Amino acid sequence: MVARKKTKKARIKAIDKKKLGDKVRGVFTNNPGLSLNYKQLAKRFEIKDTATRRLINELLVELGETGFLTEIHTGKYKLKSKGGFTTGVVDLTPNGSAYILSNQFPEKVFVAQANLNHALQGDNVKVYLYAKRKGRRLEGEVVEILERSKKTFVGIVEISTHFAFLIPINKQMPYDIFIPLNKLNNARNSQKVIAKITDWPINVKNPIGEIIEVLGSPGDNEVEMHAILAEFELPYRFPEKVLEAADKIVDTITKADIAGRRDFRKVTTFTIDPEDAKDFDDALSIRSLKSGNWEVGVHIADVTYYIHENSLLDKEASERATSVYLVDRVVPMLPEALSNDTCSLRPHEEKLCYSVVFELDNQANVLTNWFGRTIICSDKRFTYEEAQNIIETGKGELKEELLQLNQLAQILRQRRLKNGSLDIERIEVK
């Protein structure tokens, strides 16, 4: 029992010193021209006990040694001339310290672990810059977290009799998250879960959080896929209002829709995608010209025709930025009503597109090009394997078109390699 009391007392003293240090720094930061000694600070703080007054003096000496303060007379300090404040992004190192990447300085700002003040990897922070000493790196201290880079964390929950902790799977999260037992959300020991931080008192090492979703047992494929999505904060569910907006879009093409578009509905057109693809967002067309040259078209779905700027769908797509492809699923940029239906270039369906069309001679020299809005009707949906088989055997549906496109592609590829292009081989995960 005696040993426990000593430990508790020592911890309280450390906490008091941290709080007092913050108050001392605050006085000098808010009063750059003011010079004070420990007695004047003690009077400001209404501190009369000898031990705490000595601690103030000790803090002044330490702040002078770190370059935060400068001693202008014996025992009297003022804020040292420095570069002021900057903002930037936290880049943690393996040992717990960090560098702040700021657009205002070409040099990274070093921040010791003790001065991060709960800033985490990728956070946007405000940093107080210490005076740079000759021959030393630029150093500072995080004084405000402007924006957290991560709001949720995936990990394994470990439950004991009186409390629980989330052990994050992300190695760049250096702290376990304390979970009160009434915030477990029915999670069981050793399950993989998602938690969010709800509080992080300034003098407490570990953040406090709550479990917001139970994923399940580690090792299960569905659990691991959802863990990846959650860890990278990939939004695999669309808000109801966004889904409703997508369902309201009318995909019937009228004469007014076609007006002003170049018509490719009678030109041989097809898509080539993975076997399990559901959204066919680009297509190829080819036809011979009377001159003996070739007209090749690359067509992409005209998504902007259906989605207007600053609409709910536009803002959601901007937030997601791209579709994300995992081994066994896709996290689409747009709701499936659009990505897999209205804006998917499915065979034998008229679709509005934006296209680039160019004329090539038999040596694959580009003679003319045109960009604009079109309407197409795909004749065939090929898988990669089907298209490759036709190229290798010379047999199959639309073989002439595929073989001609491949011939032109080979000429262009060899030309690029001759001009210094890199040919990087890679194995696609499947």
Q: Is residue 429 part of a domain?
A: no
**220 and 351 both lie in a single domain:** no
pTM: 0.66
Question: Could you list the residue range(s) of the whole structural domain that residue 370 is in?
Answer: 243-418
Identify the CA nearest to 145 among candidates 204, 89, 209.
89
**129 and 198 both lie in a single domain:** no
Per-residue pLDDT reduced to its tens digit, 155-209:
999 999 999 999 999 988 999 999 999 999 999 999 999 999 999 998 889 999 9
Per-residue pLDDT reduced to its tens digit, 192-251:
999 999 999 988 899 999 999 999 999 999 999 999 888 888 888 899 999 999 999 988
Identify the CA nearest to 214 among candidates 202, 225, 205, 227.
227
Count the domains in the chain: 4
Q: Is residue 295 part of a domain?
A: yes
Per-residue pLDDT reduced to its tens digit, 387-429:
999 999 999 999 999 999 999 999 999 999 999 888 777 776 6
Q: Is residue 50 part of a domain?
A: yes
**208 and 120 both lie in a single domain:** no
Q: Is residue 221 part of a domain?
A: yes
**36 and 111 both lie in a single domain:** no
**218 and 183 both lie in a single domain:** yes
* Cα separation, 295 vs 352, whole angstroms: 19
Domain closes at, from 147, 174, 191? 147
Find the DSSP H helices in 102-220: none
User: How far apart are the two ends of the chain, measured CA to CA in Å?
Assistant: 59
